[in-house]
Structures are given as structure tokens and as C-alpha cells.
A = this chain, B = another copy of it.
């Protein structure tokens, strides 16, 4: 069956809205022009509410990882000790970056699919009182867990002088982030997730407390020197060449997100999470996370041998032109992950569930056919 429309339901990149695509078609302009300066300063300011901060948000031409590295190199260096909270593949990335700079990373590991709780962190900090920074992941994309950032921030503040640095790449903009209120020192995200843009931009903000540390260090970095970005933003520009078309797109993204409103965006993502989870439960497909810690942006399912996750993904891809994500590292080939983030609406979730039902039926898996969609429909109409 001909299926021209690609249905992209991975946890990023996410689909680009037509309005944003149109905005990115703007003719190229010089990045040192007054027009660009005005645009750039405007969108940088409009990012603040998503970070829950009055501090400036810096826009980097780079991937999320470049901004994670920026968070590391500007705050700690060779010989320092840090704590890295690892609840999946992306938590581990912070540790690897640190080790590249000869920083000692103490890992607090929890099993994949579980969150890290405040009491665990408290005990860990007691073991490692000398850490200068604690690195956490808000949404662990590899499992779909949301770590309780507010709870963890409270522990860091109460039990240490460390900075609290959060990778919020796969959720910021779709779930609450209150840097100032919670006491998060650095938060980082990327353009291709809740911000509905192509890959290529990263956003980063730092607290006054973080800036006090940053200002007293000379980072082992040039492109990723955060002070250079602060100096430039004060002059409504960037230290190095920005990704101009993506900035045009970001302006339209800000328009769309502001039209919907932050609270409504959060509610929409929670609804899509609840629809997905209810449907998967109805179909008897085990969720990898407890309801309380299920991300509003991505849901991981573990068939536990009931069927082959890769066969399901292959049928979805070849027959329905629908891409859901597979597992990473030791879960590669074993689980599948549904992205419901960014330019995704409840009816899109129905489509995913329907295709999964039909593909499983084709695979001969014993499921209560039709019950997944029905349950998701019920959640939808009872929610709004």
C-alpha cells in the first residue's frame, strides 16, 4: 500500500510544522546585519519562559551534545570530581565528556527504566562530598523516564555546594522546567525535540551561581566558551557564525508556542503520554516506566519476549511509513519507543496506536484488537 507521508514518531527529530518550514525559507541575510541582530536578540529573550529563568538563554549552532560539553568545560576541569546521575544512555554521556577532560566522574547508576530519587542522591553526595558539580538528565530518552529534577535540586542545594547541571534535551519546552524556582544551575536543550525545528541548534542557560564559577575559570575551549556568548548576546549577536535559517524558524516556533501557551503545551503532552500508556496497557504491552515517572515526550515499551520489537518496527516502517525508535545499548533490538513530542497532536497518537495494533495482528500476536485505540479515545474525551 502506497504510504507517502512519513510518520515520524521518534523522540527527535520531530516533524516540522508547515509554518516553521515556511519561515525557514526566508531569503538568506547577513548574520552581522541589523535585521539579524534584532531577530536573534528577540528569540533569545523569548526562550526564557521555557527555561523558567530570568537569566539569558544562549543559542549555539551545534547539537545538544555540544551544549552538554559547554556545560562541563565552563564549570569544571582536569582533576575535579563530579557526580553523574546515570539512569540510561544519555546520563552516561555527561560522564564520558567529563572523562575526556580528565575530570573524575562518580556515577550514581540506577537500573534503566527507574528514576533517581532524592534520598539516593543524598546518600551518594555523602560518599562524595568533594564533587563540584552534579549532572542529571531530566528525560532519559533511552527509557522514557522523567527524573524528579526539583527534588534532586533541593538535595544538591541542601547537602553540597556543587552546581546542579541538567540535560533537558528531550523534554524542555514540553514539560515544566523551573531553573530559578527549583535551583537548577545550568539547563541545556536542543532544537529538534519540543522546539519542532530541524537539528542544528542547542540552547543553554546558567544561574547567577553558575556564572560566579564560570567567571573565575578559563575554560579548555574556544567555540564552547560560554563567556564569549554572553559578551556577544549583550551586543545582540553571536561570537561565531549562527545558523541563520534555523533562527528564522525559531521565531515562528516561538509564535506557535506562545499562541498555544506553556500550560496548554504541557497538558497536551501529558494527554498524549496518558493516551499512549493507557493504549499500551490495554494491549498488554509492558511499559518500561512507572506511571509517576513516565515522560510526557517519549514512551518505552518492553515486549518481554511476547513479540519481536524489531519485527514490529520493520512492519511499521515498510507498511505504514511510520518510524518509532528502537532500543539503545543493551536494549537494542529488545524494546521500542514512541515519540509524542513537539509537532504531535492527540489524533497523531491514535494513528500510531492503530498502526501498532494492525502490525501486531499481522505478526500473529494475541492482543485485544481495537482496544488500544478505544482506550486512547476514552482518555482523550475524558481529559478535555
- CA of A268 to CA of B260 in the docked complex: distance in angstroms? 36
Using A268-B2, A351-B351, A373-B370 as known contacts, say yes or no to A361 and B381 having CB atoms under 8 A apart. Answer: yes
Contact with B along A320-361 (1 / 0, CB 8 A): 101000000000000000000001011100110011011001
Q: Are A370 and B361 in contact (CB under 8 A)?
A: no
Residues of B within 8 A of A256 (CB): 4
Closest to A264 in B: B2
Chain B min CB distance to A197 (Å): 15
Contact with B along A282-323 (1 / 0, CB 8 A): 000000000000000000000000000000000000011010
Total residues of chain A contacting the partner, CB 8 A: 39
- CA of A174 to CA of B262 in the docked complex: distance in angstroms? 43
Closest to A377 in B: B358
Q: Are B381 and A362 in contact (CB under 8 A)?
A: yes
Q: Are B362 and A377 in contact (CB under 8 A)?
A: no
Q: Are B362 and A369 in contact (CB under 8 A)?
A: no
Q: Are A354 and B373 in contact (CB under 8 A)?
A: yes
- CA of A264 to CA of B3 in the docked complex: distance in angstroms? 11
Q: Are A346 and B1 in contact (CB under 8 A)?
A: yes
Ranked 6 nearest A-B pairs via Cβ: A370-B374, A2-B260, A350-B354, A373-B373, A358-B381, A347-B351
The chain A residues found within 8 Å of chain B, CB to CB, are 1-5, 7, 17, 19, 256, 260, 264-265, 268, 271, 319-320, 322, 343, 345-347, 350-351, 354-355, 357-358, 361-362, 369-371, 373-374, 377-378, 380-381, 384
